[in-house]
A and B are shown apart, each in its own frame.
Chain A
Amino acid sequence: MPRWVLLPAALGAAFIVLPLAALATRVEWTHFFALISSDSSQAALWLSLRTSAASTVLCVVLGVPMALVLARTSFRGQSFVRSIVLLPLVLPPVVGGIALLYTFGRKGLLGETIDVLGLQIAFSTTAVVIAQTFVALPFMVVSLEGTLRTAGERYEVVAATLGARPTTVLRRVTLPLVLPGLAAGAVLSFARALGEFGATITFAGSLEGVTRTLPLEIYLQRETDPDAAVALSLLLVVVAVLVIGLVRGARSSAP
Chain B
Amino acid sequence: MKRLALIVAALLTLAGCSQPDVPERDSDSAPQKTLTVFAAASLQGAFTEIGKRFEDDTHGVKVKFNFAGSADLVAQIEQGAPADVFASADAANMTKAMDADLIGGQAQDFATNTLEIATPPGNPADIESLKDLSDPDVKVVLCASQVPCGAAAAKVEKVTGVDIKPVSEEQSVTDVLGKVISGEADAGLVYVTDVKAAGSKVHGVPFRDAGRVVNTYPVAAVRHAKDESLAAYFVDYLARPDAQSVLAAFGFGKP
Contact = CB atoms under 8 A, between A and B. Distances in A.
Q: Give the most central of A16, A191, A206, A211: most B CB within 10 Å.
A: A206
Interface of A: 16, 19, 93, 101-102, 105-107, 122-123, 139, 142-143, 146, 184, 188, 191-192, 194-198, 201-202, 204-208, 211-212, 215-216, 219-224, 226, 236-237, 240, 244
Contact of A195 (B15, B178, B179): B15
**How would you classify the secondary structure of chain B's contact residues: helix, strand, loop or mixed?**
mixed
B141 interface: yes
A221 B10 CA distance: 24
B182 A101 contact: yes
A237 B12 CA distance: 11
Interface stretch (B32-40, B58-66, B102-110, B162-170): B162-170
Category for how many chain B residues contact A: 35 or more
B17 interface: yes
Contact of B169 (A139, A194, A206): A206
Given A207-B169, A220-B146, A222-B71, A188 B10 contact: yes
B147 interface: yes
A16 B170 contact: no
Contacts, number: 105
B183 interface: yes
Contact of B17 (A191, A198, A224): A198
A44 to B, nearest CB: 13
Contacts of B146: 220-221, 223-224
Main secondary structure on A side of the interface with B: helix
Chain A CB within 10 Å, residue with most, of B10, B167, B168, B183 = B10
Given A107-B182, A205-B179, A220-B171, A16 B11 contact: yes
Contact of A201 (B8, B139, B175): B175
Nearest to A184: B3
A207 B168 contact: yes
B179 to A, nearest CB: 7
Given A139-B10, A191-B14, 14 more contacts: A107-B184, A146-B3, A184-B3, A188-B7, A191-B10, A192-B13, A194-B14, A201-B170, A206-B171, A207-B166, A219-B17, A219-B171, A240-B14, A244-B7
